[in-house]
Amino acid sequence: MGAYRVAVFASGQGSNFQALADAAAEGRLGGAEIGLLVCDKPAAPVVGRAQATGIECYTFQPKDYAVREDYERELVALLHEKEIDLVVLAGYMRLLSSVMVEAFTGRLINIHPSLLPAFPGKDAIGQALQYGVKLSGVTVHFVDGGMDTGPIIAQRAVPVAEEATQESLTAAIQAEERTLYPEVVSWFAEERVKLEGRKVTVIRR
Protein backbone atom coordinates (compact mmCIF):
# COMPACT_ATOMS: atom_id res chain seq x y z
CA MET A 1 0.00 0.00 0.00
CA GLY A 2 1.27 3.47 -0.90
CA ALA A 3 1.38 6.54 1.30
CA TYR A 4 -1.82 8.16 2.52
CA ARG A 5 -2.50 10.94 0.05
CA VAL A 6 -4.14 14.25 0.79
CA ALA A 7 -5.56 16.88 -1.57
CA VAL A 8 -5.96 20.42 -0.26
CA PHE A 9 -8.62 22.74 -1.74
CA ALA A 10 -7.98 26.46 -1.22
CA SER A 11 -9.01 29.78 -2.74
CA GLY A 12 -6.87 32.43 -1.06
CA GLN A 13 -3.82 33.03 1.09
CA GLY A 14 -3.12 29.41 1.91
CA SER A 15 -1.75 29.73 5.43
CA ASN A 16 -3.41 26.41 6.27
CA PHE A 17 -2.06 24.83 3.08
CA GLN A 18 1.41 26.00 4.11
CA ALA A 19 1.00 24.58 7.62
CA LEU A 20 -0.05 21.22 6.16
CA ALA A 21 2.81 21.21 3.63
CA ASP A 22 5.32 22.08 6.38
CA ALA A 23 3.92 19.36 8.65
CA ALA A 24 4.21 16.79 5.85
CA ALA A 25 7.79 17.83 5.10
CA GLU A 26 8.67 17.59 8.81
CA GLY A 27 7.02 14.18 9.28
CA ARG A 28 4.20 15.54 11.45
CA LEU A 29 1.32 14.43 9.23
CA GLY A 30 1.03 10.80 10.31
CA GLY A 31 3.01 9.72 7.25
CA ALA A 32 0.59 11.45 4.88
CA GLU A 33 1.78 13.34 1.83
CA ILE A 34 0.13 16.32 0.15
CA GLY A 35 -0.43 14.99 -3.35
CA LEU A 36 -2.35 17.89 -4.86
CA LEU A 37 -3.55 21.45 -4.38
CA VAL A 38 -6.85 22.35 -6.06
CA CYS A 39 -7.58 26.05 -6.46
CA ASP A 40 -10.56 27.79 -8.06
CA LYS A 41 -8.68 31.11 -8.35
CA PRO A 42 -5.61 30.79 -10.58
CA ALA A 43 -4.16 34.11 -9.28
CA ALA A 44 -4.50 33.26 -5.58
CA PRO A 45 -1.37 33.42 -3.40
CA VAL A 46 -1.80 29.76 -2.43
CA VAL A 47 -0.84 28.77 -6.00
CA GLY A 48 2.60 30.34 -5.51
CA ARG A 49 3.00 28.48 -2.24
CA ALA A 50 2.32 25.17 -4.00
CA GLN A 51 4.90 26.00 -6.66
CA ALA A 52 7.45 26.89 -3.97
CA THR A 53 6.93 23.59 -2.18
CA GLY A 54 6.87 21.52 -5.37
CA ILE A 55 3.33 20.27 -4.74
CA GLU A 56 1.28 19.65 -7.87
CA CYS A 57 -1.36 22.29 -8.39
CA TYR A 58 -4.58 22.11 -10.40
CA THR A 59 -6.39 25.38 -11.05
CA PHE A 60 -9.70 25.97 -12.78
CA GLN A 61 -12.21 28.78 -13.21
CA PRO A 62 -15.79 28.01 -12.21
CA LYS A 63 -17.05 30.56 -14.73
CA ASP A 64 -15.82 28.30 -17.53
CA TYR A 65 -18.49 25.76 -16.58
CA ALA A 66 -22.28 25.95 -16.87
CA VAL A 67 -22.93 24.43 -13.45
CA ARG A 68 -20.96 23.46 -10.36
CA GLU A 69 -21.61 19.75 -10.93
CA ASP A 70 -19.69 19.91 -14.23
CA TYR A 71 -16.39 21.01 -12.74
CA GLU A 72 -16.87 18.84 -9.66
CA ARG A 73 -17.20 15.73 -11.87
CA GLU A 74 -13.81 16.63 -13.36
CA LEU A 75 -12.38 17.16 -9.89
CA VAL A 76 -13.64 13.78 -8.68
CA ALA A 77 -12.03 12.08 -11.69
CA LEU A 78 -8.75 13.92 -11.00
CA LEU A 79 -8.80 12.99 -7.30
CA HIS A 80 -9.34 9.33 -8.19
CA GLU A 81 -6.59 9.46 -10.80
CA LYS A 82 -4.19 10.93 -8.21
CA GLU A 83 -5.26 8.26 -5.68
CA ILE A 84 -6.33 10.83 -3.10
CA ASP A 85 -7.49 9.37 0.22
CA LEU A 86 -8.59 12.57 1.98
CA VAL A 87 -9.84 15.94 0.72
CA VAL A 88 -8.99 18.83 3.03
CA LEU A 89 -10.77 22.13 2.47
CA ALA A 90 -8.59 25.01 3.67
CA GLY A 91 -10.21 28.31 2.85
CA TYR A 92 -11.98 26.91 -0.23
CA MET A 93 -14.66 29.54 -0.65
CA ARG A 94 -17.29 27.49 -2.47
CA LEU A 95 -20.07 25.21 -1.36
CA LEU A 96 -19.69 21.67 -2.68
CA SER A 97 -22.48 19.89 -4.51
CA SER A 98 -23.53 16.29 -3.91
CA VAL A 99 -21.12 15.24 -6.67
CA MET A 100 -18.08 15.90 -4.46
CA VAL A 101 -19.78 15.24 -1.12
CA GLU A 102 -21.03 11.79 -2.12
CA ALA A 103 -17.80 10.76 -3.86
CA PHE A 104 -15.79 11.53 -0.70
CA THR A 105 -18.21 10.84 2.16
CA GLY A 106 -16.23 10.40 5.37
CA ARG A 107 -13.07 11.55 3.58
CA LEU A 108 -13.85 15.24 3.14
CA ILE A 109 -13.12 17.77 5.91
CA ASN A 110 -13.15 21.54 6.45
CA ILE A 111 -11.75 24.02 8.95
CA HIS A 112 -13.91 26.90 10.13
CA PRO A 113 -12.88 29.88 12.29
CA SER A 114 -15.55 29.63 15.01
CA LEU A 115 -16.87 27.15 17.53
CA LEU A 116 -19.60 25.62 15.37
CA PRO A 117 -22.58 25.54 15.36
CA ALA A 118 -22.06 29.21 16.30
CA PHE A 119 -21.31 31.55 13.41
CA PRO A 120 -21.36 29.38 10.28
CA GLY A 121 -20.81 30.89 6.85
CA LYS A 122 -18.84 33.92 5.80
CA ASP A 123 -16.89 36.23 8.15
CA ALA A 124 -17.27 34.01 11.21
CA ILE A 125 -14.71 36.11 13.07
CA GLY A 126 -16.60 39.34 12.39
CA GLN A 127 -19.86 37.66 13.40
CA ALA A 128 -18.32 36.53 16.73
CA LEU A 129 -16.97 40.02 17.48
CA GLN A 130 -20.28 41.61 16.58
CA TYR A 131 -22.14 39.21 18.84
CA GLY A 132 -19.79 39.89 21.74
CA VAL A 133 -18.82 36.31 22.63
CA LYS A 134 -15.99 35.91 25.15
CA LEU A 135 -14.83 32.64 23.67
CA SER A 136 -14.52 31.69 20.02
CA GLY A 137 -12.25 29.21 18.31
CA VAL A 138 -11.68 26.75 15.53
CA THR A 139 -13.67 23.74 14.32
CA VAL A 140 -12.62 20.92 12.02
CA HIS A 141 -15.64 19.05 10.69
CA PHE A 142 -16.77 16.62 8.04
CA VAL A 143 -18.38 18.26 5.02
CA ASP A 144 -21.97 17.45 4.21
CA GLY A 145 -24.30 19.26 1.82
CA GLY A 146 -24.87 22.21 4.18
CA MET A 147 -22.92 25.31 5.13
CA ASP A 148 -20.53 24.24 7.95
CA THR A 149 -23.06 21.69 9.26
CA GLY A 150 -21.21 18.35 9.14
CA PRO A 151 -20.16 16.23 12.14
CA ILE A 152 -17.51 17.89 14.33
CA ILE A 153 -14.11 16.20 14.53
CA ALA A 154 -12.13 18.63 16.72
CA GLN A 155 -12.46 22.06 18.28
CA ARG A 156 -10.07 24.46 19.99
CA ALA A 157 -11.22 27.47 21.98
CA VAL A 158 -9.69 30.92 21.56
CA PRO A 159 -10.52 33.61 24.15
CA VAL A 160 -11.82 36.91 22.80
CA ALA A 161 -10.02 39.71 24.65
CA GLU A 162 -12.01 42.86 25.42
CA GLU A 163 -9.73 44.88 23.18
CA ALA A 164 -9.87 42.27 20.38
CA THR A 165 -10.11 43.53 16.81
CA GLN A 166 -10.86 41.69 13.58
CA GLU A 167 -7.09 41.57 12.97
CA SER A 168 -6.04 40.38 16.42
CA LEU A 169 -8.74 37.71 16.68
CA THR A 170 -8.00 36.52 13.13
CA ALA A 171 -4.32 36.17 14.05
CA ALA A 172 -5.12 34.24 17.24
CA ILE A 173 -7.56 31.93 15.47
CA GLN A 174 -5.26 31.29 12.52
CA ALA A 175 -2.41 30.40 14.88
CA GLU A 176 -4.67 27.76 16.42
CA GLU A 177 -5.74 26.53 12.95
CA ARG A 178 -2.14 26.01 11.92
CA THR A 179 -1.51 23.55 14.74
CA LEU A 180 -4.93 21.86 14.81
CA TYR A 181 -5.39 21.06 11.13
CA PRO A 182 -2.14 19.09 10.65
CA GLU A 183 -2.90 17.19 13.86
CA VAL A 184 -6.36 16.21 12.62
CA VAL A 185 -5.01 15.15 9.22
CA SER A 186 -2.45 12.95 11.00
CA TRP A 187 -5.34 11.19 12.82
CA PHE A 188 -6.90 10.36 9.45
CA ALA A 189 -3.61 9.10 8.03
CA GLU A 190 -3.29 6.84 11.09
CA GLU A 191 -6.90 5.64 10.60
CA ARG A 192 -7.91 6.83 14.06
CA VAL A 193 -11.12 8.72 13.16
CA LYS A 194 -14.46 6.93 13.49
CA LEU A 195 -17.80 8.41 12.44
CA GLU A 196 -21.11 7.05 13.73
CA GLY A 197 -24.12 9.22 12.95
CA ARG A 198 -23.01 12.71 14.01
CA LYS A 199 -20.60 11.41 16.61
CA VAL A 200 -16.90 11.37 15.81
CA THR A 201 -14.48 9.38 17.94
CA VAL A 202 -10.71 9.70 17.75
CA ILE A 203 -9.06 6.45 18.76
CA ARG A 204 -6.23 7.01 21.20
CA ARG A 205 -2.83 5.67 20.44
CB of 88 to ligand GRF, least distance (A): 11
Q: How would DSSP label each residue in the chain?
A: ----EEEEEESS--HHHHHHHHHHHTT-STT-EEEEEEES-TTSHHHHHHHHHT--EEE--GGGSSSHHHHHHHHHHHHHHTT--EEEESS--S---HHHHHHTTTSEEEEESS-TTSS-SS-HHHHHHHHT-SEEEEEEEE--SSSS-SPEEEEEEEE--TT--HHHHHHHHHHHHHHHHHHHHHHHHTT-EEEETTEEEE---
Q: By C-beta, is 17 or 188 nearer to ligand GRF?
A: 17
| 112 annotated active-site | yes
Give me the residue whose beta carbon is nearest to ligand GRF.
Answer: 91
147 assigned to a ligand binding site:
no
CB of 138 to ligand GRF, least distance (A): 7
Which one from 41, 49, 112, 178 is the annotated catalytic residue?
112
> What residues make contact with ligand GRF under the rule CB under 6 A?
10, 12-17, 90-91, 111-113, 174, 177
110 assigned to a ligand binding site:
yes
Q: By C-beta, is 79 or 90 nearer to ligand GRF?
A: 90
186 assigned to a ligand binding site:
no
The residues that are catalytic are 112
